[in-house]
């Protein structure tokens, strides 16, 4: 049997790092190609990835620590080299789209949203204590909310397909890090979270509204339920809608 590798040589011999996202491996390759890191630096950072994949924290190898320090310095250097974009003030009347080259997704249309249906006559008068309930109107409302939820879910499928694959230049990595970074939460994830929370909130509204319909169906008074009961059922889902933010939290 051959001599078993020990210490740093052992970690350098593995390729577990390929199954991790401990570091931006594509960026490391780019930095090596640009001469900002050496191939030895890349091997050492791969070794650190192997150590992380094994469930250990902190390599304890000064040579790896030095390579990681050079990696962070090189990453900062290419970030600093990206110039601030120069552009005119946004003009809402200007056509910014039609002159752009078309892609395979150019003809993909956003999911259609049905026109708001007219509400049927509710057939009576309410009061401070009671609410007139029209089953047809409420069922139509539930149907519209379900339709909006389907639209949101379909939109999520489009967003999930977005993946920025960087070219070998700093601006491309910067764009990728904003949209779908390998570490942290980017714009793509934030939008998906917001849509997911919106879909859940709309689902809760339909559940609450169906509960109101059932309450109305079972009441002895054939066309009224108490305003307090409606508020009790619907306040939670409406509050959920109000608490949604563009960052995807609810």
Taking the domains of the chain in order of start, what are their residue ranges?
A: 7-80, 130-243
Q: Check residue 99 and give its pLDDT.
A: 64
pLDDT value for 84: 59
Amino acid 63: pLDDT:
94
**CA-CA distance, 238 to 217, in Å (whole number)?**
23
Q: Is the pTM of this model over 0.75?
A: no
| Residue 41: predicted pLDDT | 94
Beta bridge partners of 130: 226
Q: DSSP assignment, residue 115?
A: P
Site of tokens 């191939």 = 39
- Measured CA to CA, the distance from residue 224 to residue 1 in angstroms comes to 87
Residue 144: what pLDDT?
85
Helix, strand, coil distribution of the chain in percent, nearest 5: 55, 0, 40
Q: 113 burial class (0-12, 13-18, 19+ CB within 10 angstroms)? A: exposed
pLDDT tens for each residue of the chain, 250 residues long: 456 888 899 999 999 998 888 888 888 888 898 888 999 999 999 999 999 888 887 668 999 999 999 999 988 887 766 555 566 676 777 776 666 566 555 565 655 655 655 555 544 554 555 555 567 777 888 888 888 888 888 888 888 877 776 665 666 777 777 787 766 678 888 888 888 888 888 888 888 888 877 776 655 554 555 666 667 777 776 777 677 654 444 3
Distance in angstroms (rounded) separating the CA atoms of residues 90 and 226: 51
- State the pLDDT at residue 67: 93
Residue 189 near residue 200, CB atoms below 8 Å: no
The per-residue pLDDT for 223 is: 52
């Amino acid at each position: 049997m051959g001599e078993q590798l020990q210490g740093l040589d052992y970690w350098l011999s593995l390729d577990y790092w390929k199954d991790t996202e401990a570091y931006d491996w594509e960026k490391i390759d780019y930095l090596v190609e640009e001469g900002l890191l050496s191939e030895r630096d890349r091997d050492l950072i791969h070794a650190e990835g192997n150590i992380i994949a094994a469930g250990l924290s902190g390599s304890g190898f000064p040579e790896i620590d030095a390579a990681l320090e050079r990696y962070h310095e090189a990453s900062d250097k290419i970030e600093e080299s990206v110039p601030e974009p120069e552009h005119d003030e946004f003009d809402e009347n200007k056509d910014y789209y039609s002159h752009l080259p078309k892609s395979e997704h150019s003809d993909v249309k956003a999911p259609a949203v049905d026109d708001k249906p007219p509400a049927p006559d509710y057939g009576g008068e309410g009061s401070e204590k009671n609410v007139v309930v029209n089953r047809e109107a409420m069922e139509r409302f539930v149907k519209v909310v379900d339709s909006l939820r389907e639209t949101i879910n379909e939109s999520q499928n489009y967003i999930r397909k977005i993946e920025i694959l960087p070219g070998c230049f700093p601006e491309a990595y910067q764009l990728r890090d904003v949209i779908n970074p390998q570490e942290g939460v980017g714009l793509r994830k934030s939008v998906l979270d917001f849509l997911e929370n919106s879909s859940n909130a709309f689902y809760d509204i339909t559940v609450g509204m169906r509960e109101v319909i059932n309450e109305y169906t079972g009441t002895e008074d054939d066309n009224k339920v108490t305003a307090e009961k409606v508020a009790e059922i619907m306040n939670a889902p409406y509050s959920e809608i109000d608490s949604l933010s563009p960052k995807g939290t609810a």
